Structures are given as structure tokens and as C-alpha cells.
Amino acid sequence: MRVLISADDIHRRVEELAAQMNRDFDSEPITLVGILSGSLMFLADLVRKLSMPTRIGFLRASSYRGESTTPGRLEILEGLTPDVRGRHIVVVDDILDSGHTLSQVLEHLRQFEPRSVRSAVLLRKRARQVVSFEPDYCGFEIEDVFVIGYGLDYNDDYRQLPYLAVLDQSET
């Protein structure tokens, strides 16, 4: 597999994104809501660099069932999300692909009357994006390749890699 983004480059970019959030929110408390499971590494590194009071929550958003590769209706399971009423929320996701999931999650969270709702994505694939959506914080824009590592997986493997790599079809 080919390394696309090194661990050092990821580390530097996460520090830059955290610095931007620290400026944007100053000392106001925020809630990071990670979309499981891919956002876990990104969220963990990001939260350690934030200087404001920060709550952490998670939700699972899925539109794929079983072995399907065609998305269906989005289901959001939010049992691990704290009360967000009146708080700034930053939804953290591993990758902005089509934009369907992230835009629907943001809309879903708005019903709980947060002070603001923003988004942070580690990766963005503009070539695959079909929903007109601009993330507030974006780590890297990448080409349309299958990426693993740093939380992203193939059949639940490779999440532990400290870098991002392109998985060749011959390796699947």
C-alpha cells in the first residue's frame, strides 16, 4: 500500500485545526460529537490540543445494511451524545465523501437547539461529493482513492495505522 499522508503531516494538520478552533471559540465551551467509528483517532488527537472546556460525545450514523454498497435511509443512534442545548457543537468525522451523512447529522443535531453547529473532517473527496456542503474545518483534500489508517478501515481492519494509505484493489 502507498502512504498518502504521513503520521507527521497528520499531527501537524491536527495541531493547525485545533489552533483555528481555539481562536474561533476563544474560551467558550464546546461539545465535540464524533461519528463512530472512523472519527475516533482524529477526535482523540484534536481534543488534546483544544484549550477551551470540551465535552465529548459520539453517535453512529449508518445508511448501509449488511453487505450492501448502496446507501439506504440514514439511521442515527445518539445514545452517547451529551445534552447539547445552548452549546457550540463541532461534529467530527473522518471523511467527507458524498456529503449525505454529514449534512443529515448536522440537520438532526439542530433540533436539540445548540448555540451553533459546525463540522470538522479529516479528509474531503471533492470528486465524490454530491451534496453542496462546506465543512468548517478540513484537514486534507484527497483524490478519489480508497483510504485506510488513522481511523479509516477496510472491513474493520487497518484503523490502527498512524498514517493514511491508499488500499490497492489487489490488497482487498
Residues 155 and 167: beta-carbon distance below 8 Å: no
- Count CB-CB contacts under 10 A for residue 75: 11
**Helix, strand, coil fractions of the chain, as percent rounded to 5:** 25, 35, 40
- Count CB-CB contacts under 10 A for residue 102: 22
Distance CA 92, CA 104 (A): 13
Is residue 157 part of the annotated active site? The answer reads: no
Residues 97, 136, 157, 168: which is the catalytic one? 97
Residues 147 and 10: beta-carbon distance below 8 Å: no
* 73 burial via Cβ count (<10 Å: 0-12, 13-18, 19+): exposed
Active site residues: 97
